[in-house]
Structure 1
Amino acid sequence: MASHSFQTVFAVPMTCGGCAKSVSDSLYKLDGINKVEANVKDQVVSVEGTAAPSAIVEAIQATGKDAILRGSGSSDSAAVSILESFFEPDARANQETPDDGVTRDVRGLARMVQVSPTSTLIDLTVHGVAPGSYRATIRQTGDLKDGAASTGGIWSDQGAGDGSGPRGLLGSFTVGPDGRGSAYINNPFQIWEAIGRAMVVSRQDESAGPLKNDPDTVVGVIARSAGVWDNDKSVCSCTGKTLWEERKDEVERGML
């Protein structure tokens, strides 16, 4: 689907040249891989091509190594949305003001990289939801006060769109019996236009009424993420944890 090549950098724990070769060989088996450079000293793998970052992570993990995406595309051309469930079946749902400290279940991740003035690739993965057909949209606002219900309609600004419908209508994909699904989408918008808006993935038919926070609807704000070589931290200045300790924490929350 992707027609423009882009560069992505991953942190990968490697101890020798054999590790680097194993990772490189695994990645070259993927469609759309043009170049792989594995640096054992810096513990990073740079990949150039059109393959989805999520597919690259899976290929690296298949070698027995873990991988963390450190940056994608050029500066100011990448974004991410962590998709969480706002469904609250218990008493908290009846509170006028939800607890600020609520920890929500992460149910998906959307990585975005702009590869041309008229093309942004969206690598979307979800898990832990019911099987079926889902629709991904970018919303008018990023207001998550009431979860998906407060994000407004589908982003419909005129401009770089092709006139075929709302600009925020990304398309549909299928979640399998294991509760997992993915999509690799090419959409005609620029990253800066989507920053601060919300992304929603849901089975709901909006023609029947506004979105609700049901168990199979996930939502997250679209925020800037690092471009290639923009992120060289190995320890978080906020928590003092290494990036691998942070990775463990996020996986326990449900991050893919």
Structure 2
Amino acid sequence: MTCESCVKHVSTSLYKLDGINKVDANLKEQLVFIEGTAPPSSIVSAIQDTGRDAILRGSGTSNSSAVCILETHSNSVSNKVRGLARMVQVSPNMTLVDLTINGLAPGKYHATIREAGDISQGAASTGGIWDALKTKVLGSDEAQKEPRGVFGSVDVDRKGREGPFKREDENTLVGVIARSAGVWDNDKMVCSCSGKNVWEERQEQVGQGMA
């Protein structure tokens, strides 16, 4: 952003999203603070639609955010990273799951959390669905509840975006959920492990399907 007109352009694009409550931009620091419940990926996309790029520097508060890099264990593909899942607790009773997928064959895919964090054998070693409830006794008035580990399904279009497991299935993605930084909890400018700045890391992540 180079002027107040840029700030207005970015803010207007963001306010078009559902769930955006407040947008504050700092032209000098090149920072945009956004408050609301819009998915992180849609926020970045809205800024990109203005001809600019953006790096998300945190979601939610400390200890309320998590991230999971999704990858295939198939040996038939070179780029194994196919997506990213972000989880943000936006209220005591609501967690937002933002799922980005790239490079999959068209079709319907199911998003679930499994019991184990072991991905050594791909999806085959991750166990059953987390929090699966036992079948209710016949005649019970309480309706059968779906496990909390079931997030729903994702329909992938022909561009590749949005039974027993097979290790070599390039369209089966797995990853380990890890805690991520909350808003402003991670303000690094250079990665000490690679020497790259955050923008160089951003381009690398985009190339790996983690935009």
TM superposition score normalised by structure 2: 0.89
- 1:163 is displaced (CA, Å) by 5.8
Is the Cα contact below 8 Å between 2:111 and 2:152 reproduced in 1?
A: yes
Equivalent in 170, 174, 178 of residue 155 of structure 2: 174
Cα gap change, 1:58 to 1:76, in 2 (>3 Å):
same
The corresponding residue for 1:125 is: 100
Give the Cα–Cα distance (whole angstroms) in 2 for the partners of residues 46 and 124 of structure 1: 22
Equivalent in 125, 140, 144 of residue 115 of structure 2: 140
- 1:117 is displaced (CA, Å) by 2.7
1:26 aligns with 2:13: yes
Cα gap change, 1:41 to 1:154, in 2 (>3 Å):
same
Give the Cα–Cα distance (whole angstroms) in 2 for the partners of residues 233 and 116 of structure 1: 27
1:68-147 aligned at under 5 Å gives the runs: 68-89=55-76, 104-147=79-122
The corresponding residue for 2:177 is: 222
1:66 aligns with 2:53: yes
1:52 aligns with 2:39: yes
Tell me the alpha carbon deviations over residues 95-124 of structure 1, each in whole angstroms, 9 at most, x when there is no partner. xxxxxxxx7521111111012233211011
- Tell me the secondary structure at the aligned position of residue 23 of structure 1: helix
Give the Cα–Cα distance (whole angstroms) in 2 for the partners of residues 155 and 147 of structure 1: 17
Tell me the alpha carbon deviations over residues 152-201 of structure 1, each in whole angstroms, 9 at most, x when there is no partner. 1111267xxx96122211111211111111xxxxxxxxxxxxxxxxxxxx
What amino acid is the match of 2:53? D
Size of the aligned set, in residue pairs, is 201
Is the Cα contact below 8 Å between 1:86 and 1:104 reproduced in 2?
A: no
What amino acid is the match of 1:236? C
The corresponding residue for 1:8 is: none
- The runs of 5 or more residues in structure 2 that have no matched partner are 134-142
- 1:137 is displaced (CA, Å) by 0.4
The corresponding residue for 1:212 is: 166
- 1:253 is displaced (CA, Å) by 2.1
- 1:17 is displaced (CA, Å) by 2.0
1:181-220 aligned at under 5 Å gives the runs: 181=162, 208-209=163-164, 211-213=165-167, 214-220=169-175
The corresponding residue for 1:232 is: 187
Equivalent in 203, 207, 210 of residue 252 of structure 1: 207
Give the Cα–Cα distance (whole angstroms) in 1 for the partners of residues 58 and 181 of structure 2: 5
- The runs of 5 or more residues in structure 1 that have no matched partner are 1-13, 91-102, 182-207
Is the Cα contact below 8 Å between 1:79 and 1:222 reproduced in 2?
A: yes
Higher strand share: 1
Give the Cα–Cα distance (whole angstroms) in 2 for the partners of residues 226 and 116 of structure 1: 17
Give the Cα–Cα distance (whole angstroms) in 2 for the partners of residues 253 and 175 of structure 1: 18
Give the Cα–Cα distance (whole angstroms) in 2 for the partners of residues 27 and 254 of structure 1: 23
Cα gap change, 1:157 to 1:172, in 2 (>3 Å):
closer
- Tell me the secondary structure at the aligned position of residue 246 of structure 1: helix
Tell me the alpha carbon deviations over residues 59-97 of structure 1, each in whole angstroms, 9 at most, x when there is no partner. 10000110111101111100111111111249xxxxxxx
Tell me the alpha carbon deviations over residues 205-240 of structure 1, each in whole angstroms, 9 at most, x when there is no partner. xxx33x223121111110111101111111112222
RMSD: 1.8
- 1:255 is displaced (CA, Å) by 2.0
Give the Cα–Cα distance (whole angstroms) in 1 for the partners of residues 81 and 4 of structure 2: 35
